[in-house]
Amino acid sequence: MKTTLMAFALLFFSASGHAADKLRIGFPDLAAQFIPLPLGEKRGFFKEEGLQGEFIRIRPAISAAALVSGELDYDAVIGNGIGSAIRGLPLKIVACYLPATPIALIARPELKSVQELKGKAIGLNTFGGTLESTARLIVKHFGLDPDKDVKFLATGTADSRFAAMKQGLTAATLGSPPLDFLGKKLGFVVLARAHELFSLPASGLVATVKSIKERPDEIKRVIKAGIKANRYIHQNREGTIQAMMEWLKIDKEIAGVTYESVSKAFNDDGSLSEKGLRLAIEEAKRVGKVDREVSLSEVADLSILKQAQKELGIAER
């Protein structure tokens, strides 16, 4: 498993030092929605909590197994954590930093509304992933049946998805910032933004049940570092843009529009609403073809989050 993990791993924002507890945290893509924890490392919030973060780019298909085996300490993808917990893996969501996904529905310029996608194809990176879940929820929000009124095609990477739109093979695709900005530069239009329509939690902190039982203080400190990072995002535009430039490998113009697209979607307390969690559970059940009832406690444990909030002076909501 270690060889497999390292084959897909890239390290970012790894700090120096020996006194801090070093943690390996997985994330899937260089996307703005996953920036809170790397930003927390970069701006010293992990160090304040006696921690050192090592961020590992890893495919969601293997990140759950890496968590359970101990090769990762934590993961940042909430949807993947929920799906894995429903399948029986001993994982739980312990905090949420982005309670509503910033994914945008990007379409060919002749389309003026989501309803005009009826009978047309939407390009995805892969079937069964976050983009498909978001697309289905968006079209459903606007009165279309995602199983009958639109067709989904797996057309690959963002470049490939945009190429398929230019060729007329698909009418729309989805992507997180800065893809909305890049799509507009190519002449496409944004029809909808998911975080303005519904709460589908995107990024946060996923831990093993074993860690929750044996290392609650460490989890609390990681949660606090993430909350501090989210507050920094809200309070320090220029510092966040600089971090985005470094982490996402983008220029200042793109980092600026990315910040404007996503910054308001981050919370300031690490909380996860029951409504958002239930929506995520239902999507995970659909993808996994699960028809049984799934309780909130089966996929999430927010008890340590409440302790972290109390230490940061956040009133219980």
Look at residue 60 in the predicted model and tell me its pLDDT.
Answer: 82
b/e 270-293 (16+ beta carbons within 10 angstroms → b)? bbbeeebbebbbebbbebeeeeee
Asked which of 28-32, 104-108, 130-134 is least confident by mean pLDDT, the reply is 28-32
User: H or E stretch including 206?
Assistant: strand 203-208
Residue 201 has pLDDT above 80, yes or no: yes
pTM assigned to the model: 0.86
Give the mean model confidence (pLDDT) for residues 8-22. Answer: 51
Cα(239)–Cα(91) distance, rounded to whole angstroms?
Answer: 33
Give the mean model confidence (pLDDT) for residues 8-26. Answer: 61
3-class state of residue 184 by DSSP: helix
- Residues of the chain with pLDDT > 70, as a percent, come to 93
**Which tokens go with 103?**
């994914």
Cα(262)–Cα(260) distance, rounded to whole angstroms?
Answer: 6
- For 268, counting Cβ atoms within 10 Å of its Cβ (0-12 exposed, 13-18 middle, 19+ buried), the class is middle
Look at residue 50 in the predicted model and tell me its pLDDT.
Answer: 96
Tally of CB atoms within 10 A around 54 = 17
Residue 59 has pLDDT above 90, yes or no: no
pLDDT in tens, 276-311: 999 999 999 998 999 999 999 999 999 999 999 999
User: H or E stretch including 152?
Assistant: strand 151-154
Residue 313 — pLDDT band, cuts 50, 70, 90?
A: very high
**Which tokens go with 251?**
């220029």
CATH class of 2-100+200-311: alpha beta
pLDDT in tens, 271-283: 999 999 999 999 9
Residue 300 carries which DSSP code? Answer: B
Cα(202)–Cα(97) distance, rounded to whole angstroms?
Answer: 8
- Domain 104-196, what fold? D-Maltodextrin-Binding Protein; domain 2 (3.40.190)
* Selected residue with higher pLDDT from 9 and 294: 294
Cα(266)–Cα(272) distance, rounded to whole angstroms?
Answer: 11
Query: What does pLDDT average to over the chain?
Result: 91
CA end-to-end span of the chain: 41
Cα(133)–Cα(111) distance, rounded to whole angstroms?
Answer: 21
| Amino acid at site 199 | S
Name the segment(s) of the chain with CATH classification 3.40.190.10. 2-100+200-311, 104-196
Cα(122)–Cα(107) distance, rounded to whole angstroms?
Answer: 9
Look at residue 18 in the predicted model and tell me its pLDDT.
Answer: 44
Residues 6+ apart with CB under 8 A from 245: 251, 252, 255
